[in-house]
Structure 1
Amino acid sequence: MSRNSPPPPKQTEEEQRAPPSTTTPAYSAFSRHQKNTILALAASAGWFSSISSFIYFPAIPVLAADLDVSVEKIKLTVTSYLIKSGIFPAIMGDAADRFGRRPVLLLGLFVYLCANVGLALQSNFGLLFFFRMVQSAGVSGTYSIAYGVLGDLFTPAERGEYSGIMSFFLNTSPSIGPVLSGLLLLRWSWRSIFWFLSAATPCCLVPMILFLPETARNIVQDGTVTAKGFNRPLISALVPQVSFSRCPEVLVEPVKKKHRHFPNAIASLKLVRIPNTAIILLAYGVNYATYTCLQASLSTIFLEVYGITGVAAGLIYLPFGCACAIAAFATGTLLDCNYRRTATEAGIAVDKRKIGDLLKFPIERARTRTIKLFVALSAALIVGYGWQLNTKTSMAGPLVEQFFIGLTIQSLFTALNTLIVDIHQNCPYTAQAACNFVRCEMAAADLAALDPLLRSLGPGWSFVILAALVFFLVPLLLLLEWRALKRSWVLACTV
């Protein structure tokens, strides 16, 4: 929207969608190589957030036997992990948008490292429960901050491709984590899982301390403002050279810094008041809750139905994990194609160097227009998966079904992760933290209800209920598209 045109009817939506104020020729001063490296570092931190769950699932029966507690009690540590994964990113989200991505990310990984050492050394359920919550507190925000960095560096026209690449990296955890867990349990005890995470974390943390630059646009804007203190890396290899030797012809408006008070968890939840954001968060939460129930129940259901143990308990996660990784990469390319297609229909030229005006562009339609089909197909596949387990068919049947569920269910995650950054460009991390809160709390509630549901109804009807919730997302996405088209049409008429 031009500066002289009247504001749209909903001021809160305009404030969130308006691009950051800048007069630089391009959206980001970082080179392509620098952006790729920064995104890889951020995604590697987010990888620990994902693998911490999936490497833990196969060890649930072993932990229960060794600590002399029930499997249901060990599953409480999964539920508590998810609850904390929703709460702490909300606090870290406000901190990351105020103080920058770099200090919050480094602090989170350090806490995560300490928690893994504590988990490896503990010997009772109480300490396991406590350190799992500390582990969640440290690492849960890294997933969201990776998408915050995505919003800092890339325009909407190119964001789909890079979101797909990042999702591909993050979604290797569902396949790698359980296999690693199975191999570690085959040779050593469950403690080796946490020693592995303790050893792997510095491999990510040390390069970040040395090289990771600040990308928060309220601190370094497009990268041309020099960061100070903890926001500045020890080695400036990934910082644009213009930050140290400013070109006189490049004019940048002064950075509007936010007041630095204690991080506020409520800041991210205020975004729920925006109708389109509320729809996105609800859709993401339902999809993630179903995703988590499918994965958390996999080892215990297959143990009961097929009697698998050991390395096999880790290998059964491979079909779903590999499918999610493939779907994430493919969906990224699809999102960019859909963006160009929607822009052509709206008569808008696509410029990958500039962010453009998303108020008059139906970005919600661009991100979800072909995703609805995958959502409907995913719901149908979940029904088939449940009844195959209920009738105890050959183990190959449910595993093949898992592969195709992974292909379809992941597409919505990639699309909505990209969309939430698109419509909250001034506070992408805070928006992702709100998304994280909703999805984790919904997943925790579903997991708490899953075991009683499986015992009373069996896998068949239990997964029918989950599939019905997933299918409900199709009309929800249609509503989101309709609102986007209506907004863009109204704004076009007022100019």
Structure 2
Amino acid sequence: MFENNQHLPQTTPATQAYSAFLPWQKNCIIGLAAFAGWFSSISSFIYFPAIPFIAADLGVGIGKINLTVTSYLIMSGIFPSLMGDAADRFGRRPVFLVALTCYLAANIGLALQSRFELLFLLRMLQSMGISGTFSVTYGVLSDLFTPAERGSYSGVISFFLNTPPSLGPIFSGLLLLRWRWNSIFWFLSVATPFCLVPMAICLPETARNLVGNGTVRPAMSMNRAPVRLLTAPQDGGCDVSCWDMGKRRAVPNPFSSLKLVRRPGTALILAVYAVGYSVYVCLQASISTIFLDAYQVAGVVSGLVYLPFGVACAVSAFATGLLLDRNFRRTAAECKIPVVDARLASSLEEFPIEKARLRTIGLFVGLGAVLLMGYGWLLQFHVTVAGPLVAQFFMGLTIQTLFTALNTLLVDVHQDCPSTAQAACNFVRCEAAAAWLAGLDPLLGHLGPGWCFVTLGAVLFLAVPALHILQRRGMQWRQARTTKT
């Protein structure tokens, strides 16, 4: 990754710490990055409960308002491809600042408009601004932490990204009690500066192709924080040009992330992620309308029905992170490699990282698929509302393990371009989810909740054999590619 950086210190992981940032600095940096990613998630979940109110206020059908969800997902897949490549080229800091600024402007516009056409277009702009922060956050994860540490910190990131499924609908319900649906966008407009301002003031650059392990001073002022509170001690060895200037002038390529799909292991990771995420989005998007029809929930209660699934996802994300680190140590012990070995920080070519990350995940995914099928029939027969809510909780505990594990694995197998890899994941998962979401209402209408969720559960179950193949063949595919290159 550093071959074009003649000015970077010529050190190896054996003689230099993987990251020079202090532990408390790394915690603050990853917290700020995860907070930015939080807005990417909250923007969807604060919107779902308002869909019936927006449809009634604008005089259009719910199916038409669902198109604004579909358009949001489409842009969430396309635009991060540009932002991910930009983050790997120009650094994490400038991309975060540009993204949050655009997001703030889109929220203000959404709060002020009252026409479906403007709602549709501004939701796309909102997605363009914030969706890429998800991939950049995982780039920061790769910058600061070794593979042995990434599991638990990936769990922390996933925890941030999975509080919106529970908090977003509650915020939305409370706002809708007092004001019109526009208030949810005013809320986002007010909340965004609490992340944007601290980032502008003190977020340092972490991209390893610009600052190494944090000890190199970035050449461009846009990569420097005005207040150096979170900046690692720097040796001053690179004050003019810390990477190849020809690469700096290059225009980010939105298609560079899609080149990764040509790798068999990456393609399988993205396919499994797309299946799980499509099911996840369909489940979340259907809650407000299904519970309104079956149980006549409204107001704050319409937000509270999202709470069990959201809480379970957040708890599962944190717990899965700890499990991933435990499985990493267990796999390293089986391979007789100490987890502090420098080889595991610089290269994973000879280490079965796929096995380390996925060895217990298939069981949880299979259980989640079975629970999803049962959930549909609970809704079909209108059992007491406690039944579907309990099922949601256990579905959140099981399905979330898939996302935390695959996000960590993507960073592990693409340490040279983690943000680009996450952008490729964004594209595949969001376009797949948009396609499934477009057909969700007809599917529910023709099959009813019972057979609809049986279908979704069967699709999710396909991930189990795919994960098994990835564990067995992943390292072989990586080694074959290295040999071919």
TM bracket, shorter-chain basis: over 0.9
CA distance in 2, matches of 1:429, 1:202: 24
Q: 1:360 aligns with which of 350, 364, 368?
A: 350
Match of residue 314 from structure 2 = 325
Q: After alignment, is 397-406 or 259-268 more displaced?
A: 259-268
Q: Work out whether residues 157 and 352 of structure 1, in 8 Å CA contact, stay in contact via their aligned partners in 2.
A: no
Q: After alignment, is 23-32 or 457-466 more displaced?
A: 23-32
Match of residue 222 from structure 2 = 230
- Look up the equivalent residue of 1:381 and give its one-letter code: L
- Cα–Cα, structure 1 residues 143 and 70, in superposed 2: closer, same or farther, change >3 Å? same
Q: 1:432 aligns with which of 415, 419, 422?
A: 422
CA deviation string 1:111-166 (max 9, x = no partner): 00000000000010000001100000000001111111000100000100111111
**Structure 1 residue 346 displacement after superposition:** 1.1
CA distance in 1, matches of 2:34, 2:183: 24
- Look up the equivalent residue of 1:159 and give its one-letter code: R
- Cα–Cα, structure 1 residues 94 and 394, in superposed 2: closer, same or farther, change >3 Å? same
- Look up the equivalent residue of 1:285 and give its one-letter code: A
Match of residue 72 from structure 1 = 63
Secondary structure (helix, strand or coil) at the match of 2:256 reads helix
- Look up the equivalent residue of 2:226 and give its one-letter code: L
Match of residue 37 from structure 1 = 28
CA distance in 2, matches of 1:121, 1:255: 44
1:338 aligns with 2:327: yes
Match of residue 116 from structure 2 = 125
Match of residue 4 from structure 2 = none
Secondary structure (helix, strand or coil) at the match of 1:242 reads coil
**Structure 1 residue 349 displacement after superposition:** 1.2
Match of residue 6 from structure 1 = none
Q: How many percent identity over aligned positions? A: 64
Q: Work out whether residues 217 and 242 of structure 2, in 8 Å CA contact, stay in contact via their aligned partners in 1.
A: no
Q: After alignment, is 314-323 or 163-172 more displaced?
A: 163-172
Secondary structure (helix, strand or coil) at the match of 1:394 reads coil
CA distance in 2, matches of 1:464, 1:47: 31
Q: Work out whether residues 98 and 260 of structure 1, in 8 Å CA contact, stay in contact via their aligned partners in 2.
A: no
Q: Work out whether residues 284 and 416 of structure 1, in 8 Å CA contact, stay in contact via their aligned partners in 2.
A: yes
Match of residue 388 from structure 2 = 398
1:377 aligns with 2:346: no
Secondary structure (helix, strand or coil) at the match of 1:265 reads coil
- Look up the equivalent residue of 1:280 and give its one-letter code: I
Match of residue 270 from structure 2 = 281
Q: 1:106 aligns with which of 97, 102, 114?
A: 97
- Look up the equivalent residue of 2:336 and give its one-letter code: G
**Structure 1 residue 242 displacement after superposition:** 2.5
CA deviation string 1:315-372 (max 9, x = no partner): 0000000000000000000000000111111111111776043101000010000001
CA distance in 1, matches of 2:472, 2:405: 17
Match of residue 445 from structure 1 = 435
Q: Work out whether residues 155 and 352 of structure 1, in 8 Å CA contact, stay in contact via their aligned partners in 2.
A: no
CA distance in 1, matches of 2:242, 2:354: 31
Secondary structure (helix, strand or coil) at the match of 2:131 reads helix
With the length of structure 1 as denominator, give the TM-score of the two structures.
Answer: 0.91
Q: Work out whether residues 265 and 477 of structure 2, in 8 Å CA contact, stay in contact via their aligned partners in 1.
A: no
Match of residue 234 from structure 2 = 242
Q: After alignment, is 340-349 or 289-298 more displaced?
A: 340-349
Give the unaligned 5+ runs of structure 2: 1-8
CA distance in 2, matches of 1:405, 1:266: 34
CA distance in 2, matches of 1:266, 1:489: 24
Secondary structure (helix, strand or coil) at the match of 1:266 reads coil
Match of residue 199 from structure 2 = 208
How many pairs were matched up?
Answer: 467
Match of residue 50 from structure 2 = 59
Match of residue 163 from structure 1 = 154
- Look up the equivalent residue of 1:275 and give its one-letter code: P
Q: 2:107 aligns with which of 116, 121, 132?
A: 116
Q: 1:260 aligns with which of 236, 244, 249?
A: 249
- Cα–Cα, structure 1 residues 245 and 32, in superposed 2: closer, same or farther, change >3 Å? farther
Match of residue 142 from structure 2 = 151
Match of residue 464 from structure 2 = 474
CA deviation string 1:226-273 (max 9, x = no partner): 023101111111111224489xxxxxx974563432221110000000
1:301 aligns with 2:290: yes
Match of residue 126 from structure 2 = 135
1:193 aligns with 2:184: yes
Q: Work out whether residues 108 and 185 of structure 2, in 8 Å CA contact, stay in contact via their aligned partners in 1.
A: yes
- Look up the equivalent residue of 2:252 and give its one-letter code: P
1:181 aligns with 2:157: no
Instruction: Say what the alpha-carbon RMSD is for the aligned residues.
Output: 1.9
Secondary structure (helix, strand or coil) at the match of 1:436 reads helix
- Cα–Cα, structure 1 residues 466 and 373, in superposed 2: closer, same or farther, change >3 Å? same
Match of residue 92 from structure 1 = 83
